[in-house]
Amino acid sequence: MKTLEFVVRDIPEDKIARHEVSVPPAEVDLELEEIQLLGEIHGQIQLSRHVQDVYVKGSFSASVEAECRCCLEPVVADISGDIEVQFSPTDMAIPSDPWQIDTGERHYLGDTIDLSEEVRQSLTLEIPNWSLCSETCKGLCPQCGENLNVTDCGCDVPEEASSPFAALADLLDRSDRTLES
Ligand SMILES: [Zn+2]
Ligand SMILES: [Zn+2]
């Protein structure tokens, strides 16, 4: 049984059950190649049940490692996400629409609810999509590929050559001249 699975009949009826959980990273696959979970996901969960409907609220936090977009060094970020979802039972083997984002309603099959998909989605939303190791990251040398934050490789890189617009500016300059002549 996974940490984020709960047996419905074990959830107290019309009362709130609180759980503190530490979820091993293997249980929640963030499905992002460049992002790694560092250690466990910590969460506080509140569960309550009315007959067979289960109401869940929770907040989760984790540390992830990403790559600096500029110098490719690892960057650690702390993320947290909240979930709020209501589960109701279904007897369909494959519910036609098991996940309804708008309403926060889900169906469960059998006697167990599984929160791992909710947790995955809430955390994935919080991952910064443009991570930098620092605001002033110097990136990699365009000539030799050294990390300019740690070494001064001494390459003589002309100022213009490092700008992606340099080539375009060059081109415009030349077409100007052609027009004149
Ligand atoms: Zn960097
Ligand atoms: Zn260099």
Exposure class string for 116-155: b at 16+ Cβ within 10 A, else e: bebbbebbbebbeeebbbeeebebbbeeeeebbbeeeeee
- Residue 49, classified by CB atoms within 10 Å of its CB into exposed (0-12), middle (13-18) or buried (19+), is buried
- Rounded-to-10 torsion of CA 114, 120, 126, 130: 180
- Distance from Cα 41 to the centre of ligand 1, integer Å: 26
The ligand whose atoms approach the alpha carbon of 143 most closely is 2
The ligand whose atoms approach the alpha carbon of 130 most closely is 1
Q: CA-based angle 12:14:19, to the nearest 5?
A: 45
Radius of gyration (Cα) for the chain, nearest Å? 25
- Distance from Cα 129 to the centre of ligand 1, integer Å: 14
- Distance from Cα 33 to the centre of ligand 1, integer Å: 19
CA 125 – CA 118 distance, rounded (Å): 11
pTM of the model: 0.74
CB–CB of 55/86 below 8 Å?
A: yes
Q: What is the pLDDT along the chain (181 residues), one digit of tens a residue?
A: 899 999 999 999 989 999 999 999 999 988 888 889 999 999 999 999 999 999 999 999 999 999 998 999 999 999 999 999 999 988 765 555 555 555 678 888 889 999 999 999 999 999 887 789 998 999 999 999 999 999 999 998 776 555 566 666 666 666 666 555 4
- Distance from Cα 74 to the centre of ligand 2, integer Å: 21
- Distance from Cα 36 to the centre of ligand 2, integer Å: 29
- Distance from Cα 132 to the centre of ligand 2, integer Å: 20
CB–CB of 48/84 below 8 Å?
A: no
- Distance from Cα 161 to the centre of ligand 2, integer Å: 13
The ligand whose atoms approach the alpha carbon of 153 most closely is 2
CB–CB of 108/152 below 8 Å?
A: no
- Distance from Cα 72 to the centre of ligand 1, integer Å: 6
Return the residue matching tokens 């909240």. Answer: 82
